[in-house]
Chain A
């Protein structure tokens, strides 16, 4: 098997767990997978794998290099994480914001509104962090349609 160069682990946070993205009315664009997220919004990498441990995609990004997405069959490049998410799921998913959302706080690089005890609103998403101590994050984007729900469960919590 053609071993691809190992991914270098950037400085910053490390998260792993399971991720479910549901696009209402579009099962083909919805998915669930194990994930690893390392680094920070400016430079990092994210891997998705199936339950048996086989990786289905690895995305890497840094200020010096646009987003590179490697899948088992090809490598593609994108100008931003949002562009990559848009092509894969048809929706602009807030991957860069996940670094902070998974810690239960808004992404400092963008404005937000407090959302009561349950969480906050940011980038058009209702981010619920009331169960972050159990490692569970739920983010919902009601508008524009279709409604999109992102659920993440961190390992070890």
Chain B
């Protein structure tokens, strides 16, 4: 079942790389323009979201801090890992202790994907629900629902399990001239 697939994924897949398409749907049903990019992770808690379209934005976690670099605004925001952007969803994929942090429940299959619902045990902050989907043993999608009922879904493609990814990939040095906000 989906919980089994998630447990296997956390145990067997120590690193990963995939392309993603992200679609945000408001609680009024309005779908916003999709964004695309690549996602990489390396347990424990190191991840990288490289947004390419419609604009470039980078989110990098080295497991201790999370950097957000918005190139158009030339600004870098740095936060401790546990206070960053609701580290919840990334913790589900890149973390190592999902049973400690989440209550898991199988959900009905949808469009050939097996879904598991993960509710954060300390549900403060902007994220109320995270769902992860597998196609057999392969990570297929994840979906975040915030406190306002807005849903953000990332669908993965070109998924690679256990590729060799150097730890340096999860370090970030702010470019010269960028405003850096330590929060």
Contacts and interface: CB of A to CB of B under 8 A. Distances in A.
Interface of A: 1-4, 6-7, 9, 16, 18, 20, 22, 27-28, 30-32, 47, 49-56, 58, 70-73, 136, 149, 151, 153, 155-156
Contact of A52 (B75, B85, B147, B181): B85
Given A54-B144, A155-B54, A136 B72 contact: yes
Given A52-B85, A72-B147, A151-B75, A20 B70 contact: yes
A52 B152 contact: yes
A51 B59 contact: yes
Contact of A72 (B26, B51, B125): B125
Interface residues of B, number: 42
B157 interface: no
Given A51-B68, A53-B22, A72-B147, A7 B152 contact: no
Nearest to B180: A27
B149 interface: yes
B147 A53 contact: no
B57 to A, nearest CB: 6
A18 B89 contact: no
Interface string B62-104: 0000001010111101000000011001000000000000000
Interface of B: 22, 24, 26-28, 32-33, 49, 51, 54-55, 57, 59, 68, 70, 72-75, 77, 85-86, 89, 124-129, 144-152, 179, 181-183
Closest 3 CB pairs of A and B: A53-B152, A72-B147, A1-B128
Contacts of B151: 53
Contact of A58 (B89, B128, B148): B148
A156 B54 contact: yes
Identify the interface centre among B22, B51, B77, B182: most chain A CB within 10 Å of its CB: B77
19 contacts: A1-B147, A3-B27, A4-B27, A6-B149, A20-B70, A20-B73, A22-B181, A27-B183, A30-B181, A30-B183, A50-B86, A51-B85, A52-B89, A53-B24, A53-B144, A53-B152, A54-B144, A54-B146, A73-B125
